[in-house]
Amino acid sequence: MVTMRCMTPKRMQTVKVSLGPRSYPIHIGVGLLKRIGAWCEETGLGRRCVVISDRRVAPLYGHTVLRSLRERGFEVVPITVPSGESTKCLDVVGHCYRKLAAHRIERSSFVVALGGGVVGDLAGFVAATYLRGLAYVQVPTTLLAQVDSSVGGKVGINLKEAKNLVGAFHQPRLVVCDLATLATLPAREYRSGLAEVIKYGIIRDATLFALLERRMGALVRRDRAWLGPVVARSCAIKAQVVGKDELEGGPRAILNYGHTLGHAIEATSGYGTWLHGEAVAVGMIAAARLSRERVGLPEASVERIHGLVASAGLPTGLPPKAANADRLLRAMALDKKAAGGEVRFVLNRRIGQAIYGQRVPTELVRQEITRLTWLP
């Protein structure tokens, strides 16, 4: 059981991801963008950098970040890519490579990813592969990216066949979560991030889960008094899991609670139709019900999970169009975690503890998918 020491509001909190020589800090607080230049200097990064952002985030926060870096003497090349999941593709990666070559980016240069998960995954993959690896800094501006994708070093892009099929493990040197950037986030995207926060409670921290049950109203209103500690706690859980299993040989898989079906929902509906957190929300409902059937999660806990997901304004079921069990099962078999064509699930016996690598009979999965369908 994890203590709740970091759950009281503070000005800025720092969570450390402990990975030996690849360790790095995550700074969480309000108004941190203007401190990025100083932190990059402290971290000992090279004099030249590339700031990769997208057309939605660059106009909002690009100026602050560029100024912060330039004030500290960094030479900055900005690259702006289109926004949206379709940006995470090989063509955009090639576009970035060519920009880096044109601006004579060297091994000592670094990359700053300013944006949501799409930008972080794309820019991180570019950093992982350009000149066989450049240092990079994550500056996540969505809740989802702050609590999940910016931490842990998973970077990558999509193929049309499935999400994140191409990628690498490449840890950032620094993560800066400025909670102020969440103010401009569309409500639907913000709620999508709450799905991952709920996931941390389910898989690792019953106290966090209970706090979320009490404070979901404040969180949905983006109340910073609760947002700061909740983001910090989420990052701390992710850091702890990643610190024990950097390359996902085993226990890191628990972070995929709700993701097996979630990824399949995203893939079969065309990327962008469902937000990641929305798909994961439905996936968590399914995982909770499968946990009841397979490992004895009490019905009351299934109901609490359902209630918390619903209170965050997240979907708890599938519209009939999305609930094609055959297509979803096929997409799951293509999941990166599938082995021998067999899908494994992350399940939980109780709230706060998850187990990975669980077999579930296909017929039971099919049955749960059917149960998830909204009645017309």
Residues at the interface with its own copies (CB under 8 A) = 47, 90, 93-94, 97-98, 100-102, 104, 106-108, 128-133, 154, 156, 159, 161-162, 165-169, 247-248, 333-334, 336-341
- Give strand ranges (E) for 179-252: none
- Give yes or no: 132 in active site: yes
- The closest alpha carbon to 287, from 257, 264, 309, belongs to 257
Choose the catalytic residue: 27, 56, 173, 196.
196
- Give yes or no: 238 in active site: yes
- The closest alpha carbon to 347, from 282, 268, 283, 304, belongs to 283
Choose the catalytic residue: 263, 289, 337, 344.
263
Q: Which residues are paired to 110 by β-bridges?
A: 49, 135
- Give yes or no: 189 in active site: no
Instruction: In angstroms, give the least distance from the CB of 5 to its own copies.
Output: 33
Instruction: In angstroms, give the least distance from the CB of 21 to its own copies.
Output: 11
Distance CA 296, CA 208 (A): 22
Choose the catalytic residue: 56, 233, 259, 344.
259
- Give yes or no: 263 in active site: yes
Choose the catalytic residue: 276, 289, 337, 344.
276
- Give yes or no: 276 in active site: yes
The residue with tokens 């997208």 is: 54
Residue whose CB is less far from its own copies, 16 or 107: 107
221: exposed, middle or buried (Cβ count in 10 Å: 0-12, 13-18, 19+): exposed
- Rama region for 111: left / alpha / beta (φ>0; ψ in -120 to 50; rest): beta
Residues 6+ apart with CB under 8 A from 214: none
Q: Kindly report the backbone phi and psi dihedral angles of residue 252, in degrees, each rounded to the nearest multiple of 5, phi listed first.
A: -60, -25
- Cβ atoms within 10 A of the Cβ of 250, count? 11
- Give yes or no: 47 in active site: no
Residue whose CB is less far from its own copies, 48 or 222: 48
- Give yes or no: 154 in active site: yes
Instruction: In angstroms, give the least distance from the CB of 340 to its own copies.
Output: 7
- Give yes or no: 103 in active site: no
- Give yes or no: 342 in active site: no
Distances (CA, A) of 111 to 48, 129, 237: 9, 12, 26
Choose the catalytic residue: 56, 173, 199, 252.
252
Distance CA 164, CA 89 (A): 9
The residue with tokens 């995954």 is: 121
Asked if 154 and 197 count as a contact pair (C-beta separation under 8 A), the reply is: no
Instruction: In angstroms, give the least distance from the CB of 363 to its own copies.
Output: 22
Name the strand (E) or helix (H) holding 126: helix 117-129
Residue whose CB is less far from its own copies, 151 or 185: 151
Instruction: In angstroms, give the least distance from the CB of 173 to its own copies.
Output: 15
Residue whose CB is less far from its own copies, 100 or 322: 100
Residue whose CB is less far from its own copies, 97 or 306: 97
Instruction: In angstroms, give the least distance from the CB of 318 to its own copies.
Output: 25
Residue whose CB is less far from its own copies, 102 or 375: 102
- The closest alpha carbon to 116, from 51, 195, 54, belongs to 54
Asked if 64 and 98 count as a contact pair (C-beta separation under 8 A), the reply is: no
- Give yes or no: 259 in active site: yes
Instruction: In angstroms, give the least distance from the CB of 80 to its own copies.
Output: 20
Residue whose CB is less far from its own copies, 46 or 243: 46
- Could you list the active site residues? 132, 154, 196, 238, 248, 252, 256, 259, 263, 276
